[in-house]
Amino acid sequence: MRKTDYNAVADLAQSIKEVGQLHSITVARKDDYYILLAGNHRVEAMKMLEQEYISATIRDDDKLINQLIEIEENLCARRNNSIEEAEAIILREQILIQLGRKAVVGNNQYTEEKITNDDLAKQLGYTRRTYQYKKSVANLHPEVKDLLGETKFANNMMDMHKLQKLPDHIQLEIANLLITEKAKTFRRAYVLAHLKFNQTNYPDDIQRTKDTLGLSKSVMRWDRKKNKLNDICYYVSHNEDNRINKITGQFGTNEISNYTMCPEQSSWFVQYFSNEGDLVIDNFAGKGSNLIAAAYHNRRVIGYDLSPTNLQLIRTACVDNTCIKDEDLILHNSCGVEMLEYAGAANIADLYLLDPPYYGAEVYGNDERDLCHIKDVGRFNDKFKTCLINMKRLIKPSSFKDKIFKPIIIKCGSIRRGEKGLIEMKTEIEILAREVGLVLHDVIINELRSAFQSYNVGRSIENRYTIKSHESNLVFLKYED
């Protein structure tokens, strides 16, 4: 199972010369000769000393038992490197199965009272996890085993365990780097191989999106940037005649306004899910961050809001500060649930991006049609289901096969109702969307850093719940039947 190390033979010969042979070799008698099972280095040492006889334990010949003795000798003596040890472990298990002594996965190993992997690990002095790690090294590509089998690198079990999990071409690259000494350490070879095969040649559109927006992750954090888009949105959200304050703190010196969507968040969704010239609709426009971001990035927009002041500020901001054409900026001072202006239309929108109010958490105006006035979950859901039906009709269909994605993106919050508990808008809308035939494509969490959070610290601790620091953006698609 392992090659003879003649330096070790010389050392052993010197020891035998001084104190004699301490341990017998093990052989099996077959016909008129013997098969050596354990003790090859001792045999070579005795030959070097020109000894005629050697102390031996003689067993009856049995092919499987012969192999098992050789394996046990090397495993228990820790003489193998990690590659040799892994193959010995695998072979040992196979032999024990053939002998009917090891349990097979799927059989009742406990009633059969056969040896389990736990037992085998304990016999070698390993935990089950270490045993599995050592065993996994046998999964290395055969050529990699040949290349590294007699090198110092094969002695590091965790490196070999890490190596076997990689694709074959990277395994081979790492092995070649090591044996040609282009890399002196496993770590450097690992890094160099991954750099060589790292995919950098993306299609132009994918590379452009990656460079512009960074990694698209399931949990995102957007910070307000001091740029033109932020200034345009600020013009609307902080208009003194149209600002709605949520709370006043610090003895009346600090006014906290209703939360508005971060322009960078709106910008990210617009760029990630639509192209220039696409039609973006926000049927709960509010302070217009979504619409302004869409116009800023050369999209056509349709917006709905029940506040004429909001719409006029949005129009002025877009016309004065973006390149959008008048015919591409359509704003309706009417109900964004019903969207009656498009009652006979279908498949017109490339992206719905909306931040609807939720269950009376914040009041935005006096119009009774506004969903912010509905605190009853059932009534709210009935209205929003109508909204989902209309959005489904107006959004263009998607095709997963052709990688065409025309989403409805809904930002969802939550509200606490004391003994009634926490109401997650996300959960309610997922259920409603499924009922109307929309498919949940993705969920993107955005971190909140609202100034209002600091006013909730005491209440949160008192009631033993956490401060709400995130919202969920649900991405729905319509697939044609």
Q: What's the rounded Cα separation, in Å, for the pair 46 and 53?
A: 8
Instruction: Measure the CA angle with vertex 378, ends 441 and 427; round to 5°.
Output: 25
pLDDT, tens digit (0-9, with 9 covering 90-100), for 265-305 = 999 999 999 999 999 999 999 999 999 999 999 999 999 99
pLDDT at 250 over 50: no
The alpha carbon of residue 122 and the mean position of all alpha carbons in its chain are separated, in whole angstroms, by 35
Statement: the pTM of the whole predicted model exceeds 0.85: no
Q: Please, what is the average pLDDT of the chain?
A: 86
Q: What pLDDT, on the 0 to 100 scale, is given for residue 8?
A: 76
State mean pLDDT over 33-59: 88
pLDDT at 248 over 50: no
Q: What pLDDT, on the 0 to 100 scale, is given for residue 1?
A: 60
pLDDT at 111 over 60: no
Q: What are the angstrom distances between the C-alpha of 34 and each of 26, 37, 368, 406?
A: 10, 9, 100, 77
Q: What pLDDT, on the 0 to 100 scale, is given for residue 77?
A: 56
pLDDT, tens digit (0-9, with 9 covering 90-100), for 202-227 = 777 888 888 888 888 999 998 888 89
pLDDT at 29 over 80: yes
pLDDT, tens digit (0-9, with 9 covering 90-100), for 64-86 = 776 766 766 665 555 678 998 89
Per-position DSSP letters for 61-75, written without gaps between them: --HHHHHHHHHHHHH
Contacts of 323 (CB under 8 A, 6+ apart): 298
Of 414, 306, 303, which is closest to residue 368 (Cα–Cα)? 306
Report the run of H or E that residue 389 belongs to, with start and end. Answer: helix 377-394
Of 183, 194, 126, which is closest to residue 151 (Cα–Cα)? 183
Confidence of residue 256 (pLDDT cuts 50, 70, 90): very low
Would you call 56 helix, strand, or coil by DSSP?
strand
State mean pLDDT over 318-329: 96
Q: What are the angstrom distances between the C-alpha of 279 and each of 204, 208, 347, 352?
A: 23, 21, 11, 9
Q: What's the rounded Cα separation, in Å, for the pair 43 and 463?
A: 78
Report the run of H or E that residue 231 belongs to, with start and end. Answer: helix 228-237
Higher pLDDT, 113 or 2: 113
Q: What's the rounded Cα separation, in Å, for the pair 432 and 390?
A: 13
Q: What's the rounded Cα separation, in Å, for the pair 41 and 23?
A: 11
The answer to whether 351 and 397 are in contact (CB under 8 A) is: no
Domains of the chain: 140-198 (no CATH), 207-477 (3.40.50.150)
Buried b / exposed e along 33-72 (16+ C-beta atoms within 10 A): ebeebbbbbbbbbbebeeeeebebeebeeeeeebbbbbbb
Residue type, 422: L
Burial class (CB within 10 angstroms; exposed 0-12, middle 13-18, buried 19+) of 178: buried
Q: What's the rounded Cα separation, in Å, for the pair 165 and 167?
A: 7
